Chain A
Amino acid sequence: MVATTHEPGLKHAHFRTAGLPAMLLLPQLLILLFFFFIPSIRALFQAFLLADPFGATVHFVWFDNFTALFASESYRNSVWVTIWFTLAQNVVTIVVALVLAFATDRVVRFQSAYKGVILLPYAIAPVIAGVMWAFLFNPAVGPIAFFIKSLGIAWDPNRNGSDAMLLVVLAASWKHICYDYIFLVAGLLAIPGSLMEAAAVDGAGPVRRFAQIALPLLGPTLFFLTTMNFVYGFFETFAIIDAVTRGGPAGATNILVYKVYQDGFINLDLGSSAAQSVLLMAFALLLTLLQFKYIERKVNYSI
């Protein structure tokens, strides 16, 4: 991050001794140590092993687990599925959240009820949300599925991969819109009212005010949210996938993190699962770095 050196504020804190900051960091570092560094290092070791799940027989196989993955059609499929899924989920979430956030100002009556309803999905456990979506859109019993079919549209997420993908994108976005929404509402509030008023006086309509004033000023928020949405799509949608499609049909919604779980905990192929999680971590790291390097430059932090 490019820090402006003379600006007082949150970016720089001044401590006289090293003791206090170290102590403040300690809890977080311990959590990272036990829940991130140790498991990651173990995964790294495991990725080079072919091992019996009980640990009785262990062979060191160099890069065999990785080469097997690159040769595997289902792994390549999973990479593409993950890319499409996270991109689609990101776009849907941000666009809907933006519209809802911008509309918040225009809701005059019952504004808190409006906000409350939008925030509700955040309070629902992902598994419950997933089961609900799966049920509502189930072609055999789901009311929404009946409605879709009554419109003459073929709908069967149990057989058709793109239907299933659409369903998990919607479910995952629905669950995450509220998160983006909170940040965007806060971001919009931080835009000085005088700017908007001046634009209005100059004759800019709501659409133009949104596109030319609010949107650029929301840059830092949008950048942050895109990063967070990618992280969400990669790692936290596991429960929704598990409840809605189990990665099916035919691997159409088998995102990388779900495949890691399936190969590790259902199929008990620990070496391959570890290799996948190492690759996934590298992938996420690379993406975040790229975002910071190229996109963040274009973000304007000052108002």
Chain B
Amino acid sequence: MKISSSTPSLVSGVLALIMSGTAAWAAPVEVQWWHAMNGVNGERVEELVKKFNESNDQYKVVAINKGNYDEVINSTIAAYRAKRPPHIVQIYERGFMTMLLSDAIVPVQDLMDKTGYKVDWSDFIKPVAGFYSYKGKLAAMPFNSSSPILFYNKEQFQKAGFDKPAETWGEFEKQLYAIKKSGAAECGTALATDYHWSLIENYSAVNDQPYATKANGYNGLDTEFVYNKTLVVPQVARLKKWLDDGVLQIAGQGFSPEQLFTSGKCATYFASTAAHSGIERNSKISWNATFLPWEEGHQPKNSTIGGAALWVIKGHKPEEEKAIAAFFDYLAKPETQLWWHKASGYVPLTNKAYEMAKAEGYYKESPTREIAIQQLNRGTPTENSLGFHFGNFTQAMFAQREEVEALFAGKKDAQQAMDDAVKRGNEILRQYERLNKGKY
């Protein structure tokens, strides 16, 4: 728009009038939400926001996709440093400590209390609420939580003479070799891009193996990785053996491992329950899903969550904070939770929503949708299965992956690779501890 220089006062006067006019008409207070949901779930987020905006005329949420999780946290940091942050950001669970100690956030429970919204936090399912809590209060609004489960190709299992995957790793391994040998499938299992989460971290939780000291970081920044002394070592050695024998396949760059499963090439696939939407849409195979296997002689514990939560960035106006609170209040409603659970494949976050899904028979028609939540709620959590609260966890995770790749390439044996991963990881933890001493 071009404004003639001879009439600036008139124009600004008119503009001011229009502005005040709209204010008097009570234009909805707008808040920005940066998220990382793409594809099907990206469309679901749009739907969710639309439903909220239509449900009231005071507040409006604008959802903006900022790419993947890494890109969202980077954009958030850049915007925060430039002093123009969005109101709500969706940050992956691995970024919990980074956000918690960033001094850039308002803990969500404080925000709800301040704005006078009553949310029944005790109704949130334990593994999720526990993960996102700090000193007994929720720091972030749980949003999309998942857990890894085991997807499998029904026909290929039957062809090799099995009903379904075995419950223990030893038996499951025999099945995969039999499936490959009988020619039922070309490969036993496809290695997901986030295998560190399903096959190492959750493996440790389910089999009650300590991943690090101090209850996996829950009890202090001076936590140290110890997974080089646990069953994780034979577990990664097993993966290497599978890879050598062609039982395990890596999809690699330029190709998605999910397609190795949905095309019928690999008989199983360890992936997040959120993979449901993609698998349902893309696969021509007849598939089913089940719980993660565990080691024989172990009582399987609960698995841990993945996914992301919504963080509130501090420094916004009171009426905007109210808008955020109104949106979170809407999110916490059992009806919204139920809709989101069904639409996205993520787990329902409140017990009420879970009960509603059960009551309406949802799990009768889609039984695999219940696996993740049953697995998350299984047994009494121990210190080893609460979840993982590590600073700079992404960095430590990439160091671990590099060492696993060195094992896969045959450059190191399993013990050496895990020793080196732990050593590098601990340096990363010490750097975080040094930076944040006294803050946790």
Contacts and interface: CB of A to CB of B under 8 A. Distances in A.
A140 B411 contact: no
Interface residues of B, number: 40
B394 A266 contact: yes
Contacts of A262: 398
A248 interface: yes
Contacts of A268: 73-74, 77, 98, 392, 394-395
A133 B243 CA distance: 23
A251 interface: yes
Interface in A8-40: none
B297 interface: no
A294 interface: no
Contacts of B251: 138, 140, 158
B366 interface: no
A54 B74 CA distance: 10
A143 to B, nearest CB: 12
A159 B77 contact: no
A250 B406 contact: yes
Interface string B408-432: 1101000000000000100100010
Interface in A242-258: 243-246, 248-252
A54 B80 contact: yes
Contacts of A53: 77, 98, 102
A139 B398 contact: no
A55 B398 CA distance: 23
Contacts of A245: 253
A159 B243 contact: yes
B409 A159 contact: yes
B81 A54 contact: yes
Contact of B402 (A56, A250, A263): A250
B70 interface: yes
Contacts of A52: 101-103, 435-436
A251 B424 CA distance: 14
Contacts of A157: 252-253
Nearest to A56: B103
Contacts of A51: 435
Nearest to A137: B254
A239 B250 CA distance: 22
Q: Which of B249, B260, B394, B402 has the most CB of A within 10 A?
A: B402
A147 interface: no
Contacts of A132: 254
B252 A134 contact: yes
Given A266-B70, A266-B398, A56 B104 contact: yes
Contacts of B394: 266-268
A138 B74 contact: no
B402 A138 contact: no
A139 B252 contact: yes
A157 B265 CA distance: 20
Which of B252, B265, B406 is packed against the most chain A CB atoms within 10 Å? B252
A262 B394 CA distance: 11
A236 interface: no
B25 interface: no
Contacts of B435: 50-52, 57, 59
Q: Point out which of B101, B403, B409 has the most chain A C-beta atoms below 10 A from its C-beta.
A: B409
A160 interface: yes
Contacts of A68: 427
B434 interface: yes
Nearest to A142: B254
A249 B405 CA distance: 6
Contact of A158 (B101, B252, B402, B439): B252
Contacts of A187: none
Contacts of A160: 409
Interface-central residue, A135, A140, A248, A249, by most chain B CB under 10 Å: A140
Contacts of A244: 253-254
Nearest to A254: B402
A247 to B, nearest CB: 9
A249 B81 contact: no
A244 B254 CA distance: 7
B191 to A, nearest CB: 9
A122 interface: no
A278 to B, nearest CB: 19
Contact of A54 (B104, B252, B254, B434): B104
B405 A140 contact: no
A120 to B, nearest CB: 20
B408 A56 contact: no
A92 interface: no
A141 interface: yes
A253 to B, nearest CB: 10
Nearest to A136: B254
Interface in A262-299: 262-263, 265-269
Contacts of A269: 392, 395, 431
Contacts of A266: 70, 394-395, 398
Given A54-B77, A141-B255, A250-B405, 6 more contacts: A54-B103, A57-B101, A134-B254, A250-B406, A265-B74, A266-B70
Interface of A: 50-57, 59, 68, 74, 131-135, 138-142, 157-161, 243-246, 248-252, 262-263, 265-269
29 contacts: A51-B435, A52-B101, A52-B103, A52-B435, A53-B98, A55-B80, A57-B439, A59-B434, A74-B399, A135-B254, A138-B251, A138-B254, A140-B250, A140-B255, A157-B253, A158-B253, A160-B409, A246-B253, A249-B408, A250-B405, A250-B408, A250-B411, A251-B402, A262-B398, A265-B70, A266-B394, A267-B395, A268-B77, A268-B98
